[in-house]
Amino acid sequence: MEVQAKAKWVRTSPRKVRLVARTLRNLPVSEALVACSFMPKAAARDVAKVIRSAQANAENNFNLVKDDLVIKDIRVEPGPMLKRGQPRAMGRLFSIFKRTSHITAIVEDRPGVVRRRTAALPRAPQPTSRSAPTPAAAAAARAGAALQPATTESDETVAPARPKKVKAESKAPVSKPPAEGKKTEAKKTQAKKKDDGKKDTKEKKSK
């Protein structure tokens, strides 16, 4: 069922009103009113008033559910034009046309067509890092864990302890440092000198 509302002699040019009306056709009434509240155009306020009037007519006069109402059409027709003038140079008159428009909003009920949003909206997919598993891999891991039977302490096998690695000893003979060899040679030379000194003293005494 179609219900309409009119607003006449609106002090806005029809061209500006049509820019708003084109974006609201075939929209639910609730969404169209929200769109009008966020539009940065002054004509959106006049269009929203006409839409609310048509919604009230459908709800109060024809007992229609306001949640099922959809905007079928918004017609914008030019109204009477007020002619004004601005004096310019050399006695001339610059003409100013103050245009008006007639706005007609037509709504109709379409039960079941309007999609109502659920209470909880689906969450957007979160970005995952490279190390984190993908959702498909996580689901596969959960499915594999569910298929495996539950294990008890007796079923679990204890892994044998690994033998400790012993460092291989070097088989090469240990060479004595050269400093010790020099010390032994010095001791031998000192002992020879002492023996020679003793022999000299013995020979002198014998003489």
The string of pLDDT tens digits covering residues 64-81 is 998 899 999 999 999 999
Provide CB contacts within 8 A for 71, sequence distance 6+: 24, 25, 26, 27, 28, 29, 32, 51, 105, 106, 107
- The pLDDT tens digits of the residues spanning 23-36 come to 999 999 999 999 99
Domains of the chain and CATH, by start? 2-109 (3.90.470.10)
pLDDT of res. 204 = 59
Instruction: Please determine, for residue 189, whether its predicted confidence score (pLDDT) is greater than 60.
Output: yes
pLDDT of res. 89 = 96
pLDDT of res. 190 = 74
Q: Residues of the chain with pLDDT > 90: what percent? A: 51
Both tokens of 25, joined, read 């056709």
Instruction: Please determine, for residue 45, whether its predicted confidence score (pLDDT) is greater than 80.
Output: yes
pLDDT of res. 155 = 53
